[in-house]
Amino acid sequence: MSEYRLYCFGESGNCYKAALTLALSGCDWEAAFVDYLGGETRSDSYRQSMNELGEAPVLEHKGERITQSGVILSYLAGQTGKFGGSTDSERREILRWMLFDNHKFTSYYATLRWLVGIDRSGDPEVHKFLRGRVLGAFGIVEKHLRDNAFMLGEEPTIADFSMVGYHYYDEETGVDRGTFPNINAWAKRIAAMPGWQHPYDMMPRRASL
């Protein structure tokens, strides 16, 4: 049995953030499939035994179960001594970008991807609103990456792994990714790191949507 077990599913960028960090940190880990699309996380048994928040990913390590992708990434940085920053100032900067990611950068894009690319549901006006929010958040990161190889400069951190979580999926969103060359180049730099794999190669997924 591997040292770390990640309860996850391939369609989730939030799960991928944890899987990517495990892989790039060189951890001994295994993936355990969570049938989110089949309703598993909404079941009483999952919420009672796995995660009361009804979410994935869940990281199991040394008899403890850790939830929320940002918490998992911070935990892994502490366990491995990798990608977590070397000074208090760097750790604060990592936290700043991860909070921005969870509040704006990932949240709007992930919701838009779900509605347009996976569930194919919702009001077109809601889609339009979400795209506007996505473009605003992407614009901030695009400008920041104009002068930085990674979010904190020349070296990658868990802030990068958090923020890049949804940027290797191809489902339709109506957002022209080609208009963000700095973000695209940044995602390619991360993809060039030893141990990187596409989310669908790293985590199990449902046979069909």
For residues 190 and 168, what is the distance between their CA atoms, to the nearest angstrom?
11
For residues 88 and 92, what is the distance between their CA atoms, to the nearest angstrom?
6
19 pLDDT tier (thresholds 50, 70, 90): very high
Contact predicate 94/159, CB 8 Å: yes
Contacts of 70 (CB under 8 A, 6+ apart): 98, 99, 101, 102, 162
pLDDT at res. 209: 47
For residues 205 and 19, what is the distance between their CA atoms, to the nearest angstrom?
13
Q: What is the pTM of this model?
A: 0.96
pLDDT at res. 101: 98
Structural domains of the chain, ranges and CATH numbers in brackets: 4-83+195-202 (3.40.30.10), 88-191 (1.20.1050.10)
Residue 85: which region, alpha, beta or left (left: phi > 0; alpha: psi -120 to 50)? left
Looking at the chain, the whole-number percentage of residues with pLDDT higher than 70 is 99
pLDDT at res. 206: 80
Whether residue 208 is predicted with pLDDT greater than 60 in this model: the reply is: no
Over residues 85-91, mean pLDDT: 97
In 3D space, the residue among 190, 172, 184 whose CA is nearest the CA of residue 23 turns out to be: 190
Over residues 131-136, mean pLDDT: 98
pLDDT digits 0-9 by tens, 23-53: 999 999 999 999 999 999 999 999 999 999 9
Over residues 86-100, mean pLDDT: 98
Whether residue 167 is predicted with pLDDT greater than 60 in this model: the reply is: yes
Q: What is the mean pLDDT of the chain?
A: 96
Question: What's the one-letter identity of residue 151?
Answer: M
Contact predicate 62/75, CB 8 Å: no
pLDDT at res. 1: 86
